[in-house]
Amino acid sequence: MSRFGFRGQPEPPGEASGDEDPVVRQYRYLLRTAPADALEAAHVEAIPALSQANQESLLEAVQGSLLVGGHLTTRDHAKIAHLVTAGERRAPGQLLAALPADVLQSLAAAVLDSEPSFGLLGGYASWDGAEPQTPDHPDWADGGFDPQVGTGKPRNDPRTAKGYADGGP
C-alpha cells in the first residue's frame, strides 16, 4: 500500500499468509529474474491467449496502476506486453497487486505455458520469494530541493562550479 510521500512496495497476493498460488509465485519469479526481452516475448504470446474480459482487465490494470497506455486497446498486445514488463521492473508488485486474482492467475499460467519462458525457471527452487527493493534514483532523492536557493549563497550546481561560470568548460 502506498501513501503520499512513502514509497513502499505493494504486497503480492497471498505472500504474507503463505497461501500464494504456485503458478503466480513462479510468474513473479520470472518477472524478477528473466531477461526483459524473453519476458516481453512471453507476454506477447500469452496476452492473446487470455479471454477478452481478462485482456480488458489487464489493460485497465496497466492504465490504472502504471498510469500509462491510455491510448491502447486490447488489440495492442506487444505494447501491453512491453508496459507489463517495464512496469514490473520499475515498481515490482505494483501491477500484480492491481490485477484481479483470476486475471493474475490466467496471465501467469499463459506466460508460464508460452514458448519464450521455457527454461527460465532455473534457480526457482532456491528463490525466497521476496520482492526486491527498488532504490530511488539519487537525482530525485531530495525532490530537487536546494537549500542554498534564496539565501544569497552560491548554488550547489556543478554547472556553476569553477570553469562553468560562463556556461561552458
Residue-range domain boundaries for the chain: 22-122
CA neighbours closer than 13 Å in the CB half-sphere of residue 145? 4
Least confident of 12-26, 84-98, 100-114: 12-26
- Residues 12-40 have pLDDT tens digits of 444 444 688 899 999 998 998 888 999 99
Chain position carrying cell 505494483: 94
* Predicted confidence (pLDDT) at residue 112 exceeds the cutoff of 70: yes
Residue 19 DSSP SS3: coil
Residue 112 DSSP SS3: helix
Q: Which pTM value belongs to this model?
A: 0.67
pLDDT for the residue numbered 14: 42
- Residues 49-78 have pLDDT tens digits of 999 999 999 999 999 998 889 999 999 999
**54-76: buried (b, 16+ CB within 10 Å) or exposed (e) per residue?**
bbebbbbbbbebbeebeeeebeb
Residue with more model confidence, 4 or 144: 144
